[in-house]
Amino acid sequence: ATKAKSSKAASSFALGLPGAVEGQVVTRFPPEPSGYLHIGHTKAAILNQYFAAMYKGKLLIRFDDTNPAKEKAQFETTILEDLQLLDIKGDSTSHTSDYFKELHEYCVQLLKSGKGYADDTDQMQMRQERMDGIASKRRDSPVEDNLKIFEQMTSGDPAAQGWCIRAKISVDDPNKALRDPVVYRMNVQPHHRTGDKWKVYPTYDFACPIVDSMEGVTHALRTNEYRDRNPQYEWMQEALGLRKTTIWDFSRVNFVYTLLSKRKLLWFVQQNFVQGWDDPRFPTVRGIRRRGLTVEALKQYMLSQGPSQATIMLEWDGIWALNKKIIDPIAPRYWAVEKKDLVKVTLEGQSGVETKVQPLHKKNPDVGEKTVVYGPEIYLDQEDGASFEDNEEITLMDWGNAILKTKTKTASGTIDSIVMTLHLEGDFKKTKKKITWLAASSDAHPLVPVTLIDYDYLISKKKLEEDDDVKDFVTPQTEFRTPSFSDANILKVKKGDIIQFERKGYYICDRAAEEGKEAEFVKIPDGKAASLA
């Protein structure tokens, strides 16, 4: 009876859930309100939403708040906001703590039916006995004694300190999860929702199967590290005569160079290595959204993970490459030039300043239009200017060809200024270089300062091991800021908009240009390093 029954259930997402009936499926996402959601949680949330929608059923959001020591009301708000960022909305929201009374009654029922007992074996010894398959000295205590102790625990009686309630399942089952697990503990700490009403709290293993059954959950999706505990979940429902739930398990996701532990992420926040929980370097929902990962890409990616049961270490390139496919056809194109060592070009053949309307996306007219300024003086990136050879003909994008006449260098060897002659009859197909540029700043058409920001992984090791100290693997510099100029078109871009600075990459607007504040753009990785690209 110990073998996990659900091992075959997760054969494929497309095949759906076993025994699912349209209109009757109820799934649930059960976050613990102890921190912000991260990309790992999104897999669980997305799968639950996906199956609820697939069967026109319901998705419940349930805060799993059975541990008063760790949970805070504030995190309930932030988790609901995180879900909103993922476009996930439950049909209802509840708390495990809404059921504390019923859970308590079920524990009494368990004791009355002789399927549970009170135990005061100390933790270390209990662990050892469970390892060795040895029965607790209290295993066969009479029902009345067990009930009396549970009552004492419930009233917070100091005499019951150190006692817990255990389910009487097995002493020596090969599946250690079945060796009389603890179902209730005393804890006099106040709970963030129920205050000091309760002095005893159910364990997750006890509460989850009961509340799933009570709330009408038909399919309980769980990460498969709980697989050993599936028979225990089933035992609880059976022992208490509850309606059964189908467990469907899926693998956890992990990403290279990424920490998915709230505790370790908190450490980065406390050390001021990041700006906060929404830092674009963070794997939190807030962080990845701020970095420019779309909900669409995240959903497609998680659903494409398929039925593999192994906990996988994923490369970020795959998800970013998918994201790029989604943003590329719709991201408006703008131009920017780096401030540092900017190259001034005098263009012979262009007398005055003029403007022309150009598409924001050459292949997608729906994206809109921008106004491009043309003038006798333009700016280029140092890298471009420095690459031009004598008499080389290049193409100024959205304009035409030009031929290099002279280059002037500074004492340090960087290119300072260039003179070129427009050669608009020239064939752009024959040039090697298609260059982005900006008309020099003028009173009529001032350039707009923008900062382009790129980030590196926070940790320098692909996969941190359990005994690795995070401190030893902190990447020394992870933020790279490039002060640049763009043109007035960029003033229309709003915070959260995804654009492309042509020849530089995709960016998400992290701060729009405002009075006194420069616009900031965060680079969106495009998965180029991937073999996929």
Give the residue numbers annotated as catalytic, written as ranges: 32, 252, 262
Of 405, 458, 404, nearest in space to 435 by CA: 404
Phi, psi (5° rounding) for residue 180? 35, 70
Binding at 361: pick from ligand ATP, Mg ion, none (beta carbon under 5-8 Å per type): none
Residues 17-22: contacts with CB under 8 Å, at least 24 apart: 17/51, 17/55, 17/219, 17/246, 17/248, 18/246, 18/248, 19/218, 19/246, 20/51, 20/54, 20/55, 20/57, 20/218, 20/219, 21/55, 22/55, 22/56, 22/57
CA separation for the pair 461, 288 (Å, rounded):
20
Minimum CB separation from ligand ATP for residue 261, in Å? 6
The residue (of 27 and 146) whose beta carbon lies closer to ligand ATP is 27
Q: Give the closest residue to 208 by CA, choosing from 389, 67, 394.
A: 67
Q: How far is the CB of 204 from ligand ATP (least distance, A)?
A: 8
CB nearer Mg ion, residue 32 or residue 212:
32
Non-local CB neighbours of 470 within 8 Å, separated by 6+ positions? 259, 264, 267, 459, 464
Nearer to ligand ATP, 4 or 44 (CB): 44
**Using CA atoms, how far apart are residues 357 and 373, in angstroms rounded to an integer?**
9
Cβ proximity to Mg ion, 32 vs 249, nearer residue: 32
List the Cα angle 477/478/482 in 5-degree steps. 95
Cβ closest to ligand ATP, residue 30 vs residue 332: 30
Whole-angstrom distance, CA of residue 402 vs CA of residue 374: 14
Q: Which residues contact 178 (CB under 8 A, 6 or more apart)?
A: 2, 169, 170, 231, 232, 235
Q: And the tokens for 456? A: 């590196």
Q: State how far the Cα of 214 lies from the Cα of 96, in Å rounded to an integer.
A: 11
- Closest contact distance (angstroms) between CB of 524 and ligand ATP is 23
Nearest approach, Cβ of residue 237 and ligand ATP (Å):
18
Q: Please give the structure tokens belonging to residue 36.
A: 């912000």
Residue 252 interaction partner, one of ligand ATP, Mg ion, none, beta carbon < 5-8 Å per kind: ligand ATP
Give CA separation, 438 vs 372, 449, 502, in Å.
Answer: 9, 12, 12
Query: Considering CB distances under 5 to 8 angstroms, the limit depending on partner class, which of Mg ion, ligand ATP, none binds residue 253?
Result: ligand ATP
Write the CB contacts of 329 (distance below 8 Å, at least 6 apart in sequence): 361, 363, 364
- Residue 355 binds: one of ligand ATP, Mg ion, none (C-beta under 5 to 8 A by kind): none
User: Minimum CB separation from Mg ion for residue 190, in Å?
Assistant: 20
- Owner of token pair 């150190």: 162
CA distance 47 to 309: 15
DSSP string, 57-70: -EEEEEE----TTT
Nearest to Mg ion by Cβ — which residue? 32
Residue 223: contacted member of ligand ATP, Mg ion, none (CB under 5 to 8 Å, by partner type): ligand ATP
Tokens representing 159 are: 């005499």
The nearest distance, CB 294 to ligand ATP, in angstroms, is 20
- Whole-number minimum distance, CB 32 to Mg ion, in Å? 5
Q: Residue 261 touches which of ligand ATP, Mg ion, none (CB < 5 to 8 A by kind)? A: ligand ATP
Give the number of residues in contact with Mg ion, rule: CB under 5 A. Answer: 1
Q: Closer CB to ligand ATP, residue 247 or residue 418?
A: 247
Binding mask 319-348 for Mg ion (x = CB under 5 A): ------------------------------
Q: Which is nearer to ligand ATP, 30 or 525 (CB)?
A: 30
CB of 215 to ligand ATP, least distance (A): 15
Least distance from ligand ATP to the Cβ atom of residue 42, Å: 8
Question: Which residue number, 71 or 119, has a Cβ lying nearer to ligand ATP?
Answer: 71
Q: What one-character-per-residue DSSP string does 275-338 give?
A: SSTT-TTS-BHHHHHHTT--HHHHHHHHHHTTT--S-EEE-HHHHHHHHHHHHTTTPPEE-EEE
Residue 41 touches which member of Mg ion, ligand ATP, none, C-beta under 5-8 Å by kind: ligand ATP
- Minimum CB–partner distance for residue 252 and ligand ATP (Å): 4
CA distance 381 to 405: 18
Distance (Å) of CA 193 to CA 67, 148, 185, 189, 466:
11, 27, 18, 12, 34
CB nearer ligand ATP, residue 59 or residue 347: 59
∠ CA 99-44-205, rounded to 5°: 40
Restricted to residues 10-69, the positions that interact with Mg ion (CB under 5 A) are 32
d(CA 216, CA 233): 15
Nearer to Mg ion among residue 168 and residue 222 (C-beta): 222
How long a stretch of residues is the chain? 533
Binding site for ligand ATP (CB under 6 A): 30-32, 35, 40-41, 43-44, 222-223, 252-253, 260-262
Sites of contact with Mg ion (CB under 5 A) = 32
